[in-house]
Amino acid sequence: MNSSIKKWVPGAAALAVVVALGVAAMEPRLSAGELAELAGGFGFDAPVALSAADGVALASVRAVHPSLARISGWISSVGASAALGDVDGDGLSNDLCDVDPRSDRVSLRPLAGTGERYAALTLAAAPLPFDAATMAPMGCLLADLNEDGWLDVVVYYWGRTPVAFLQVQRSAPLSAAAFVATELVAGQGRWFTN
């Protein structure tokens, strides 16, 4: 072998090793058919609209202080929330807590298509202080706050401290009487959560 070729052999060998290792380290690629087959078991049904509780008037724009009238559309758009969980204790996360800014109400109901296990119910802060002119629910969270094995509901507000709706009795069917509104934060300071 002549000396000029000998000089290039180690470099060519190193390049071949690097290329081989690069090919071996590449992520496997699935064909379009393989991807379609894997995704075939997953999908969505037709969308289901969340309706407001029966008999509740819906507003497209919230009543606001006159100084905020120019941004009333934005204020009306905030505060929509939804949380899923097993509130009724059937072992499935098929219960929906939602806050609707069109009615400023907190509703708890079974998800559509999961059976009529209980009627939709409204969670209201009363008897705790609540002024609908200056306060509005912004969202809800589901958690077992008192560690009794039953999901409770935390509702946070614009204009007041959050309220814990503790599930104090397991009844069938589930009703608003099963929840007791409890202050989550001591004192009545102004609180704005969004």
Q: What is the value of pTM for the model shown?
A: 0.73
Nearest CA to 104 among 83, 131, 84, 127? 131
Cα 138 to Cα 80: distance, rounded to the nearest angstrom: 6
> What is the pLDDT at residue 78?
84
Over the stretch 67-79, which tens digit does the pLDDT of each residue have? 888 988 888 888 8
* Mean of pLDDT values over 47-75: 77
- Give me the residues paired with residue 95 across strands: 85, 110
Cα 96 to Cα 110: distance, rounded to the nearest angstrom: 6
Over the stretch 63-111, which tens digit does the pLDDT of each residue have? 877 888 898 888 888 888 999 999 999 999 999 999 988 888 899 999 8
Q: What are phi and psi of 23, to 5 degrees?
A: -65, -40
Q: Are 145 and 152 in contact (CB under 8 A)?
A: yes
